[in-house]
A and B are shown apart, each in its own frame.
Chain A
Amino acid sequence: MSFDKTTHTLVGKSIPQPDSLDKAVGRTLFSDDVRFSGMLWGLALRSPFANARIRRLDVSKARRLAGVRTVLTAKDIPGINRRGNMPGNRDDQPVLMEDRIRAVGDPIALVAADSIEIAEEAISAIKVDYEQFQPVEDPVASLAPDAPLVDEEGNMISELGYDRGDTEKGFAMAAVIVDETYRTQFAEHAYLEPEAGVAWLDAGGVIRIRCGTQWVENFRHIARILGVSHNRVRLESPLVGGGFGGKIFMTIEPLLALLAKATGRPVRMALTREESILSSTKRHPYIMRYKLGADAKGRLIALDADLVADVGAYSDASPIIAWYSIGFLAGPYRCENVTVHSRFALTNNPSGTAMRGVGSAQITFALEGAMESLAEKLGMDPFELRRRNYPSKGESLSTGQPLKNAVFLSETWEAADKALDKALSRNKAEIRNLNQKLLRARGHTSNMTGYGRRHGHLSQAQVSMQLDGSAVVSVGVADIGSGQRLGCQQVAAEILGLPMDKVTLNTSDSQLNPIAGMTAGSRTFLNAAGPVLRAAEPIAKALKKAAAGLLEARTEDIILADGKAFVMGSPSVTVPHAQLVAAAAAAGASLTNLGTLRIEEDLYPGEETAHNAGWLDYTFGGMAAEVAVDPQTGQTTILGLGISHDVGTSVNPQIVIGQCEGGVAQGMGLALTEDCCVKNGKTEAHDFSTYLIPTSLDMPPIEVSILESGEGEGPFGARGIGEPPHNITPSAIANAVSRAIGVRVTSLPITPEKVLVALRTGQWPL
């Protein structure tokens, strides 16, 4: 889709988010910020062990305590004791454990009590007799034929792959071959708002849950657990204090709902940070073996990628993430002989789930590292190598999918490099004082991230004109802070020709709003603002028609802007929207309209018709990093970062740049400091003094260079930008460090210790 910005008034403007005002004055009511009279406190008893069997569970003493209103175990679940979470997974995760425990943090019993103190007392009064087993910790070992079963159906959750061309022949013809194995760590989303919420019974026996989520459609899973029909559960999300993928699938929603249903009273739960980190899902660690073959001219003629992912204890979103990864494994390159293969293995570790750059950040790190090695072996400039293998618009990815929109891979690489120069120029003082003995180098990388996955999604939104000419948008999308509501508002205002404050948003309620899917996968502007655009357009047309009548002009000459209509070329004679609404209504036009965006389900990469595979479109980008490594301490200092993406159309530059800066910061964490340190299935880094996300003092100058090809599938030609900046960052930093120390970085995070070992042995440690 191509788009011409000049005809629009709001597109391209840095309009602040509609909710910032409330957030700035402390008025926003987040998940834990509402209270009801008679509200109870809910707490969960969770397993401290990763692999165990419950021999005996005794809640009788807890039930007898004064002030305890209910104690629930698996037996008390009225419906089906399975979380569900993602359609298509194994449905292997109980809400409350029956007998088998597969992960640290698995909930065993729930308590609702008059106060937190009583609830705590009740929890400690519950007796559990555990039979402990050795946890399965290694995904590769988990796939061995004699490995203990994490799940009765077997430990392999998903095995996927595809072959194109003849990889063996490709390698036989290759002038150089690189064969390397890369690893990544368990990463925590580390949203600043821990999981919290309330649930209560509403009129008509509807169970209501108010809990921060990225996906209000989870209400269906809750209904199944409660054993009630879908119309009896209403899930609404307040504004979410950060999600990053960790709040797509249910967190405490079913626990809240069970307690509210059992007691008939409002119940509140709020996890502590430790409980949050110990019990929540994580980014999957990947082990990726890349074998790349190129001819002497640097043409990629064979690519063999083998991925083993640590699923953790439950299948959760892993099957779908496996599909994502298959789509990304061959990267943004043209290669005729490709073999990719992935296995997703259960362990007794924390469950892997979606995290910003889902199924892709790990891959970019590995593939771009291997590409650097290939360039080195060829004695070729890394950019030159990539340039020879970037597909152009109209050509196909290795999956076979043709690229119908602009492919700005060279452009973003070069723009990122220039941006880095700019960033470094802002860091002159630090660089001047830099010890000369530090090892300095620059590293670059390329990346593609899909958006608009072809899941057969149906997304809808409703737009209604009010009689005074203002408008209300209703769409079931959750706002996690990155401008989801703003996007819908800006699109509606643009199409209807209204000032921003004349468009009100009504979002993230599973019963009141048309459903628009999850806030995830860089899809939301396309999948939520897209239907808003479709809902608004017929209304705009009706308004224009009414204006044409009133102004005695042709409908196509009418412009709607700033709450008024006028005839193109004579903006001084105007009719306000209120009058247009009246006229349109009188003419019988509908002033409320439902917009629908359907992305047809299509086959995945490797299927026969792979040309339709994967995503509607991709966002392409480049990044450059400059680092200084202390060869004595192994410490890495990032001196500057330059990042560039083609966002199609930058509908709101401030939001786009904010996504880049925030994504880069998270990517820095993934590159250098963040690691859950999972041992015996337990996340050792379970607070913010051990799980180290970057602080303000860790941020180097970042320069963002936004390119606009005008070609994207979102409204006004926009491309998804939520994830790409995060995906690309670890690989840029890793490539820079590799250059600096002369050893390929093959695992994350890049700790000072690993750097020292690498310098000593010439090998990056595992």
Chain B
Amino acid sequence: MEVFSVQFRVNGEEVEAEFPAHLTLLQALRELGYFEVKNGCEKGDCGSCTVLLDGLPVNSCLVLAVQVQDKEIITVRSLGSADNLHPLQENFIKHGAIQCGFCTPGMLLSAKALLDKNASPTREEINEGISGNLCRCTGYVKIVDAIKATADQLKTNQKKRRH
């Protein structure tokens, strides 16, 4: 099978690897050990495989690995680390937005992309922003709580900084 050499960045690190054309970005990332990118359907129906591709949240199962030459990919791993959590991660934990946690990496990235675009979303806008990410455990309530709390927190921090 013919393979293609692809260079891209994942979480700020240069990656150079060879992939057959049919490999999806989801499969490629998992092969490279980025297991935080989850496989829930491979059809674009669930959002478990969400990554940020040049800043935009996408289903990595709907992208071929050979398509990401020179692109920048962000997974949940670089959102924050255990001793330096992103406020979204902190609030997801605090508000009980994580049950089985299988949807969490994707959900966090959709939330991040939403807040990057809209710093103070309403609950409706949050529901819209995460509507491509299925969660079977939480009923989404605590997820929305956590995102809302993060937005509020970031706003107060900003105000504080301005003063």
Contact = CB atoms under 8 A, between A and B. Distances in A.
A33 B141 CA distance: 28
| Chain B interface, DSSP helix/strand/loop, else mixed | loop
Contacts of B95: 654
Interface in A672-731: 687-689, 693-697, 699, 702
Of the listed residues B35, B108, B144, the one surrounded by the most CB atoms of chain A closer than 10 A to its CB is B35
Contacts of B80: 25
B135 A702 contact: no
| Chain A interface, DSSP helix/strand/loop, else mixed | loop
Contacts of B75: 26
Given A26-B76, A665-B140, A697-B127, A19 B134 contact: no
B43 A192 contact: no
Contacts of B39: 32, 194, 270
B93 interface: yes
Q: How large is the interface on B (under 10, 10 to 19, 20 to 34, 35 or more residues)?
A: 35 or more
Contacts of A270: 39
Contacts of A535: none
Of the listed residues B77, B102, B104, B143, the one surrounded by the most CB atoms of chain A closer than 10 A to its CB is B102
Interface string A272-292: 110000000000000000000
B93 A16 contact: yes
B102 A30 contact: yes
A172 interface: no
B15 interface: no
Interface residues of A, number: 56
B113 to A, nearest CB: 15
A24 interface: yes
Given A27-B82, A662-B139, A696-B130, A194 B43 contact: no
B98 interface: yes
B128 A658 contact: no
Interface string B35-79: 110111111011010000000000000000000000000011101
A357 to B, nearest CB: 15
Contacts of B108: 24
B71 to A, nearest CB: 20
A241 interface: yes
A23 B99 CA distance: 9
Nearest to A244: B136
B144 to A, nearest CB: 7
Contact of A20 (B98, B105, B134): B98
Contacts of B94: 16
B103 interface: yes
Contact of B131 (A194, A273, A696): A696
Nearest to A241: B102
A117 interface: yes
B116 to A, nearest CB: 18
B138 interface: yes
A193 interface: yes
Contact of A192 (B46, B89, B139): B46
B38 A193 contact: yes
Interface in B97-149: 98-105, 108, 126-128, 130-131, 133-144
Contact of B100 (A32, A241, A702): A241
A309 interface: no
Contacts of A664: 139
Interface string A16-45: 110111111111111011000000000000
A666 interface: yes
Contacts of A48: none
A658 B100 contact: no
B1 to A, nearest CB: 7
Given A239-B100, A241-B101, A194 B40 contact: yes
Nearest to A242: B100
Contacts of B102: 30, 191-193, 241-242, 481
A243 B137 CA distance: 9
A253 B108 CA distance: 31
A190 interface: yes
Given A19-B101, A29-B35, A661 B142 contact: yes
Interface in A168-226: 190-194
Nearest to B90: A24
A25 B81 contact: yes
Given A273-B42, A661-B139, A662-B137, A192 B100 contact: yes
22 contacts: A17-B99, A20-B101, A24-B93, A24-B98, A25-B82, A27-B82, A192-B46, A192-B134, A192-B137, A193-B38, A239-B101, A240-B100, A480-B100, A657-B96, A658-B99, A661-B138, A662-B137, A665-B140, A688-B41, A688-B134, A696-B126, A697-B127
Given A23-B98, A26-B75, A482-B100, 7 more contacts: A14-B96, A21-B85, A24-B101, A191-B136, A192-B40, A192-B103, A192-B137
Closest 9 CB pairs of A and B: A26-B36, A481-B100, A23-B101, A241-B102, A665-B139, A688-B45, A661-B139, A481-B99, A33-B35
